Structure 1
Amino acid sequence: MTATPLLSAFLPIALGIIMLGLGLSLTPSDFARVVKYPKPVLIGLSCQLLLLPFLCFLIAKGFNLAPALAVGLMLLAASPGGTSANLYSHLAHGDVALNVTLTAVNSVIAILTMPFLVNMSLLYFMEADQAIPLQFAKVLQVFAIVLVPVALGMLINKLAPRFAARMERPMKIASALFLVGTVILVLIKDWKTFLDYAPVVGLAALVFNLLSLGIGYWVPRLLQVPQRQAVAIGMEIGIHNGTLAIALALSPSLLNNSTMAIPAAIYSFIMFFTAAGFGWWVNIAYGKELILKKDEATR
């Protein structure tokens, strides 16, 4: 897979639009909600920042992925939740406010955790002459890629809240379209390369995706987190910011390794269907749970 001039120009625009759209929906209260509802936020962040990278590492090893593909999968695991998680959470009757908070907080934390995890993955999976760690200057580029558009969006939200409210829905639609467009461009450009890697890395991405959704939902439920918040955490953890992972992998000034973009491209395609199935399932399961509670209450 090669990064064409079209793709190199499209990715920063797509990522900027997505992160700007996120910023338009954020206010300082979204960060303050961490203090008000610490338990679900801490559980969600712990699953996403600690448990998922460990499981992703085991999957990469278990499927014996090629070094660049293994690093690409780890890059995806280190990426924060995607903005599509808010929409899916809403459709599945999850706590969308919690989704917004988790996305906001994790996007900030990812500035530090992504370079760390990527560097560790490069050192472990790649040969010494292939591993080019993300230096401080590159970390600053990640900071600019992720937080500058978010901060701009938050500033617009503060100065022109009505405009931000009107633009929130169109920006969510645009974000989803840009993600789909990014995946399509990546796959069309190197369809043969995709077909060569798809059987192995596709199955690894599917397993990782299903584990992400399952852990995001069941760990909170086992820890007595309410249903709506567990659904939100499941969506947040299961839907990663694939555009960010692809952009970091393809950027000539960052990783500059197009093979590392393949896991994120495949995952981004898979997650639309698995997240829809997960939302359908939790709605049915929650409906049955409510019926049982009503039956118990009438006895």
Structure 2
Amino acid sequence: MQTDILTSVILPAALFLIMFGMGLSLKWVDFSNVLKTPKAVAVGLIGQMLLLPIVAFVIAIALQLPPEIAVGLMIIALAPGGATSNMFTYLAKGDVSLSISLTAVVSLLAPFTLPVLTALSMTYFMGQGTEFSLPLGKTITQLLVITVIPVALGMLFLKYWPNTAAKIEILLKWFSIAFLFLIIALITLKNANSLGSFFAQAGLATLLLNVIVLILGYQLAKRARLNQAQAVSIGYEVGIQNGTLALVVAGTLIGNATMMIPAVTYALLMFVSGAAFGWWLKKKQSAL
């Protein structure tokens, strides 16, 4: 798989629009909700910022993944949630406000945590002599430009033009999901002969990561005695990551097409596992 205009121009531009759309749905009250439900937010952050990368690291070691595939898996695990996790939370009758708050907080932290931990992962799995690098200062700046700044612009737009923002936000929310489908379809078509190889290299690892953390996130919330709606939200926030951002980091910022493979297989599988998790939750609730 090769990097091209898709990864160098289209992906970053689309991510900017997606994050702008997220900003259109955010008000300062969403951040104040973090203070109103500190326990739920703390559990969600522990699950997403700590549990998720640890599980990815263990899977990479246990399956003895090739170095670049292992780093790609870590990038997925270090990405925040997004519109897809919010959508699944809504469909599964979770706490949408908590889901949006967690997505917002982790998205603001990701430009700082993701480059540092990705660089450490590259050093661990690929060694010091790799031809690929991730300059921390430059990467943090780039991620701020395509994630945090558009979110801030979206929030300002919502403040001054709320009616227009509401209409645009709905369009961009569906655009973010449709674009991920489109980008995966384009990558799949372009690399049709290699798709089997992609799943052979990363399919099992990404499926295990997705399923394990969906369940662990949910169970972590239940063990913390959070209510069902909060547990559903945390399950999806920990279990469904921003595949577009992972593709941008691997393909655009690092420029390593092989590292994009886990993001591709993950994005194809997460809709199936996310829907299956929702079905399991519904069946579990109906049995009570």
TM-score in terms of structure 1 length: 0.93
Aligned mates of 1:176, 1:44 — CA distance in 2: 23
Residue deviations 1:195-247, cap 9 Å, x none?
Answer: 22312410110000001100111110111010001001111111100000101
3-state SS, counterpart of residue 3 of structure 1: coil
Aligned mates of 1:168, 1:6 — CA distance in 2: 24
The RMSD of aligned alpha carbons is: 1.3
Could you tell me the percent identity over the aligned residues? Answer: 42
Paired residue for 1:63? 63
Aligned mates of 1:200, 1:123 — CA distance in 2: 20
Matched letter for residue 270 of structure 2:
M
Confirm or deny: 8 A CA contact 1:23 1:150 kept in the other structure.
yes
The list of structure 1 runs, each at least 4 consecutive aligned residues, that deviate by more than 3 angstroms after superposition, is none
Tell me by how many angstroms 1:127 deviates. Answer: 3.1
Paired residue for 1:297? none
Paired residue for 1:245? 246
Aligned mates of 1:142, 1:88 — CA distance in 2: 25
Structure label with greater radius of gyration: 1
Paired residue for 1:296? none
Aligned length: 287
- Tell me which moved more, 188-197 or 267-276: 188-197
Confirm or deny: 8 A CA contact 2:55 2:213 kept in the other structure.
no
Paired residue for 1:75? 75
3-state SS, counterpart of residue 254 of structure 2: coil
Matched letter for residue 92 of structure 1:
A
Aligned mates of 2:27, 2:17 — CA distance in 1: 18
Paired residue for 2:237? 236
Confirm or deny: 8 A CA contact 1:63 1:200 kept in the other structure.
no
Aligned mates of 2:68, 2:19 — CA distance in 1: 26
Confirm or deny: 8 A CA contact 1:250 1:257 kept in the other structure.
yes
Aligned mates of 1:189, 1:123 — CA distance in 2: 30
Matched letter for residue 88 of structure 1:
F
Tell me by how many angstroms 1:52 deviates. Answer: 0.9
Paired residue for 2:274? 275
Cα distance change on mapping 1:16 and 1:133 into 2, 3 Å: closer
**Mapped pair 1:49 → 2:49:** yes
Confirm or deny: 8 A CA contact 1:194 1:262 kept in the other structure.
no
Paired residue for 1:147? 148
Q: Which residues of structure 2 form unaligned runs of 5+?
A: none
TM-score in terms of structure 2 length: 0.96
